Amino acid sequence: MTLDATLTLTIARLGARGDGIADTPAGPVYVPYALPGETVRVSLPAPDPSTGRAARSSMGRADARAALIAVEHAAPDRRAPECVLFTRCGGCVTQHMSEATYGAWKRDSVVTALARAGIDTPVEPLVDAHGTGRRRVTFHGRRRQDADGVDDAVGFMAARSHDLVPVAHCPVLDPALARAPAVALDLARLLLPKGKPLDIQITATTSGLDIDVRGHGPAGEVERRVLTGAAERLDLARLSIHGDLVVERRPPGIAMGRGLVTPPAGGFLQATALGEETLARLVTEACDSAPGRIKRAADLFAGCGPFALRLAERAEVHAVESAAAALAALDRAFRATPGLRRITTEARDLFRRPLLPLELNRYDAVVFDPPRAGAEAQAREIAKSQVPLVVAVSCDAGTFARDAKILTDGGYAAARITPVDQFRHSPHVEMVGVFVRTGKARRR
């Protein structure tokens, strides 16, 4: 048997996931919770006996991951974590970094992705959009059984593991979710006897907690009655299982601009209220500062309308999205909000059936905000269009850079790229890119 090695390393830089990276003759070694300039003692798994190199990661790379034993020489930008569970819970990876180091690291992830794609537009400083905290959280619920008996727990997973770390308080959550861990545990105790692990998604809304439980399978008649009683006792606004409504005691509202939206159970929402406002502000500012007035805009991958409802204060909006329930929520909010210009909706799969140049050319501005996979097919059609202004919103730097390159190759210039941080202490970053048509569309 080969034993893990203990060694001392100097950290050279930060990796994309927030780990410190030490360069060694055997290749890079990734050290979680270590900072550039630090000397750290680590334990390194024994090398692969067949190659003598670091054990290959699941990505197939010979990157070695060490476990931090001690920081022997701390960097000046190291700070005390705000949560007692930091390093045990896998939710946060950067509570040990100063704000300046953190902001530069997140912004760099966007700069690096753009440079790889060959785009050299300057990237704005990171905009902090944590605000009052995350308005939505998903707790995992597990039944743990050992010789001492049965123990139901809710919490987050440890980093790169399926071990549950029970959580009773989480500092990145909005105060409106303060009782969310206790509520999740209460529901887990009702549902876990079925034996299946649960995901309990809890959203803070204007009328209380909105909860969607996943992993359980459809609820039977008896379970529905038990859950309806629990929703009453816990004073929930709405409770659903896999998006299937169990009870709605009050419509759960999310304010979007002048509108009040009741999103579909379990449907997409930006992580923080300030994150949504910031992304929408960058979108509307881009439209307001366009040389000509924006009279008609398309909002693609529109969700339940955070951009459409705000854009409709100045322009007619056509909102396109694959989730019909999200569009129905947007349509209801539009009809209930006086003073907006017209919003029309269209349920459409934009991966398979992107809007074509003839459709796109009706708009003065097109906004798109796809899931992580990006909007490659749609970007290719926009690149062939004459739309004067395109605003790309994204939650993935790699696919954003790819789609941005498609636009710039098609004759658009990247005017402004702004990274936005609504997932504090995680490696996730959002970005908003403003593109203006400078050259003629290239026919392909």
Annotated catalytic sites, by residue?
395
Tell the smallest beta-carbon distance from residue 210 to ligand SAM (Å). Answer: 15
- Rank residues 152 and 321 by Cβ distance to ligand SAM and give the closer one: 321
Rule CB under 6 A: is residue 371 a binding residue for ligand SAM? yes
| Tokens describing residue 14 | 């930060």
Q: Which of 102, 156, 307, 423 binds ligand SAM (CB under 6 A)?
A: 307
Rule CB under 6 A: is residue 351 a binding residue for ligand SAM? yes
Tell the smallest beta-carbon distance from residue 346 to ligand SAM (Å). Answer: 10
- Is 95 flagged in the annotation as binding? no
Query: CA separation (Å) from 182 to 22, 133, 177, 200?
Result: 41, 18, 10, 12
Rule CB under 6 A: is residue 306 a binding residue for ligand SAM? yes
- Cα dihedral 367/370/373/375 (nearest 10): -30
| Tokens describing residue 194 | 């079925």
Instruction: For residues 429 and 162, give the distance between their C-alpha atoms in angstroms, rounded to a whole number.
Output: 24
Instruction: For residues 363 and 388, give the distance between their C-alpha atoms in angstroms, rounded to a whole number.
Output: 8
Rule CB under 6 A: is residue 381 a binding residue for ligand SAM? no
Rule CB under 6 A: is residue 303 a binding residue for ligand SAM? yes
**Of 107-115, 170-178, 218-226, 349-357: span binding ligand SAM (CB under 6 A):** 349-357
Rule CB under 6 A: is residue 326 a binding residue for ligand SAM? yes
- Rank residues 19 and 321 by Cβ distance to ligand SAM and give the closer one: 321
- Rank residues 272 and 385 by Cβ distance to ligand SAM and give the closer one: 272
Instruction: For residues 108 and 316, give the distance between their C-alpha atoms in angstroms, rounded to a whole number.
Output: 36
First to last CA, the chain: 59
Tell the smallest beta-carbon distance from residue 146 to ligand SAM (Å). Answer: 41
- Is 301 flagged in the annotation as binding? yes
Rule CB under 6 A: is residue 321 a binding residue for ligand SAM? yes
Rule CB under 6 A: is residue 284 a binding residue for ligand SAM? no
**Of 27-35, 36-44, 172-180, 368-376: span binding ligand SAM (CB under 6 A):** 368-376
- Is 270 flagged in the annotation as binding? yes
**Burial grade of 69 (CB within 10 A; 0-12, 13-18, 19 or more):** middle
- Is 369 flagged in the annotation as binding? yes
**Of 77-85, 192-200, 244-252, 295-303: span binding ligand SAM (CB under 6 A):** 295-303
- Rank residues 133 and 306 by Cβ distance to ligand SAM and give the closer one: 306
Tell the smallest beta-carbon distance from residue 387 to ligand SAM (Å). Answer: 18
Query: CA separation (Å) from 310 to 121, 151, 284, 443?
Result: 27, 47, 7, 33
Q: Hunting for tokens 């790379």 — which residue is that?
A: 61
**Of 156-164, 329-337, 364-372, 417-425: span binding ligand SAM (CB under 6 A):** 364-372
In sequence order, what DSSP letters do the residues of 53-109 get, joined into one string? SPPPPTTS---EEPEEEEEEE--TTB---S-TTBTTBSS-S-TTB-HHHHHHHHHHH
HSE-up (13 A, CA, CB side) for residue 427: 15
Rule CB under 6 A: is residue 322 a binding residue for ligand SAM? yes
CB-based burial, 258-291: b 16+ in 10 Å, e otherwise? ebbbbbbbbbbbbbbbbbbbbbbbbbbebbeebe
Of 178, 160, 41, 15, give the one whose Cα is nearest residue 91: 160
Query: Total number of residues binding ligand SAM (CB under 6 A)?
Result: 18
Rule CB under 6 A: is residue 62 a binding residue for ligand SAM? no
Binding-site entries: 270, 301, 321, 369
Contact footprint for ligand SAM (CB under 6 A): 268, 270, 301-303, 306-307, 321-323, 326, 349-351, 369-371, 395
Binding-site entries for S-adenosyl-L-methionine: 270, 301, 321, 369
